[in-house]
């Protein structure tokens, strides 16, 4: 029986090249190089590549962070080919500020016509083409003056007197300061204009790629029927979080290094809203959405937003209290805990005998369909809400063993901690 290794790439079909006998050694070397460069692509799940294509589809500037040699430039080259976009690469660190703001050209009558700012040739080519992928490479090695000149290009898409057409997308790449050649931290105004994606290598992708087969970058398929729903969902998610956490609207990091990454501001929240809508319409996974959200507003606010997204789809506590026997509880432990806590909070807000009994029935259902430890805290809190004239429901008997076992475990842990503290004190 033949054996197959997980990472073994398929043998690519090698085209037959006939090299004339009279060919020079350089011609033969060229044929060999052509064979080495010959590769194919395949549809393959890749979270970071999907996040990149989603941000490109949303027409948001993207900044890829990664160590040298990780494949950032190769990914952009392959993306441009897959999307059939002409690729224009600009090494930011070898340009002057005037290359992005425009060179002043004195005309016949400056007093009447002013002094126009002439754009560089690569910008003129992009405008003539009407579409393309502008790749700003080595961004972290660009000095502060050049970064300041890039502000208008990245946000307003203007270079001198030219405005880049809507068909042009902007992607940049940078190395962390520790591995960049004479690197600089990104200025906060420039950093806040990008979706920051951490670019890492995947062992299986690299092995298959070296074998001749790379992942295929494709634009996400947006479901037209989901567009209004996706926009509404994104707005509710962002506005709901910022209503509950107003301090997250704008939070400039205190350290210089963190200011050069993703952090929350009204601009980056607007970008986040767009990305949530695109990811929802495309049916993207949570991993892809996590990369995009955290890469726009930072890890802390991004994780809070992801948690609130989970809670947006949780069942209404009142619906569960109305029919505890038919309740459909989440499978994930953290979401189930949030649902049970919400039910107990609803009973506390409007306590009566029927609602109290229904909550106990719901806890029993949670005990029968999930982890027992999740009902301990809600059951203890619910028991404290009992009024004197309320009879104890029979369902409590099913929960008594779990609560008692939990209390015994807590007491045993407390005794063990006390013994450890006593031993440590005696040894001083």
Q: What's the pLDDT tens digit per position in 177-224? A: 666 556 678 889 999 999 999 988 888 888 888 888 878 777 788 999
> 40-106+114-215 belongs to which homologous superfamily?
P-loop containing nucleotide triphosphate hydrolases (3.40.50.300)
The helix, strand and coil proportions of the chain, stated in percent and rounded to the nearest 5, come to 55, 10, 35
Residue 32 pLDDT > 80: yes
User: What is the domain partition of the chain in residue ranges?
Assistant: 40-106+114-215, 224-312, 330-426
Q: What's the pLDDT tens digit per position in 120-148? A: 889 999 999 999 999 999 888 888 888 98
pTM of the predicted protein model? 0.73
Taking the C-alpha atoms of residue 42 and residue 388, their distance in angstroms, rounded to an integer, is 68
pLDDT score, position 301:
95
pLDDT band at 324 (very low <50, low <70, confident <90, very high): confident
Higher pLDDT, 116 or 276: 276
pLDDT band at 251 (very low <50, low <70, confident <90, very high): very high
Q: What's the pLDDT tens digit per position in 69-86? A: 888 888 888 888 888 899
């Amino acid at each position: 029986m033949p054996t197959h290794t997980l990472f073994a790439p398929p043998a690519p079909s090698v085209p037959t090249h006939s090299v004339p006998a009279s060919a020079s050694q350089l011609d033969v070397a060229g044929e060999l190089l052509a064979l080495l460069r010959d590769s194919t692509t395949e549809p393959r799940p890749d979270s970071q590549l999907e996040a990149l294509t989603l941000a490109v589809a949303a027409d948001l500037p993207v900044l890829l962070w990664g160590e040298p040699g990780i494949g950032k430039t190769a990914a952009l080259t392959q993306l441009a080919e897959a999307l059939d976009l002409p690729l224009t690469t600009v090494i930011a660190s070898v340009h002057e500020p005037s290359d992005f703001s425009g060179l002043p050209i004195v005309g016949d009558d400056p007093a009447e016509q002013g002094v126009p700012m002439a754009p560089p040739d690569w910008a003129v080519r992009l405008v003539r083409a009407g579409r393309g992928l502008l790749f700003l490479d080595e961004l972290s090695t660009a000095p502060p003056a050049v970064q300041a000149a890039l502000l208008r290009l990245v946000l307003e898409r203007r270079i001198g007197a030219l405005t880049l057409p809507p068909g042009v997308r902007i992607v940049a790449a940078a190395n962390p300061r520790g591995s960049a050649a004479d690197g600089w931290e990104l200025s906060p105004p420039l950093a806040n204009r990008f979706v920051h994606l951490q670019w890492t290598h995947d062992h299986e992708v690299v092995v298959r790629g070296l074998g001749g087969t790379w992942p295929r970058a494709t634009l996400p398929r947006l479901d037209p029927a989901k567009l209004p729903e996706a926009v509404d969902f994104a707005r509710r998610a962002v506005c709901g979080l910022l209503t509950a956490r107003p301090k997250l609207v704008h939070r400039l990091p205190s350290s210089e290094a963190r200011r050069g990454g993703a952090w929350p501001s009204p601009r980056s929240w607007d970008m986040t809203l767009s990305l949530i809508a695109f990811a929802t319409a495309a049916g993207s996974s949570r991993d892809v959405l996590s990369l995009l959200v955290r890469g726009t507003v930072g890890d802390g606010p991004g994780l809070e937003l992801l948690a609130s997204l989970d809670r947006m789809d949780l069942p209404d506590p009142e619906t569960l209290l109305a029919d505890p026997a038919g309740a459909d509880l989440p499978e994930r432990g953290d979401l189930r805990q949030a649902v049970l806590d919400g039910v107990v909070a609803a009973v506390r807000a409007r306590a009566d005998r029927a609602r109290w009994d229904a909550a106990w029935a719901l806890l029993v259902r949670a005990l029968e369909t999930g982890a027992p430890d999740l009902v301990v805290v809600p059951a203890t809190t619910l028991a404290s809400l009992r009024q004197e004239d309320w009879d104890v429901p029979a369902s409590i008997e099913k929960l008594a063993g779990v609560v008692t076992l939990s209390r015994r475990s807590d007491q045993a842990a407390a005794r063990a901690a006390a013994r450890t503290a006593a031993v440590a004190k005696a040894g001083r």
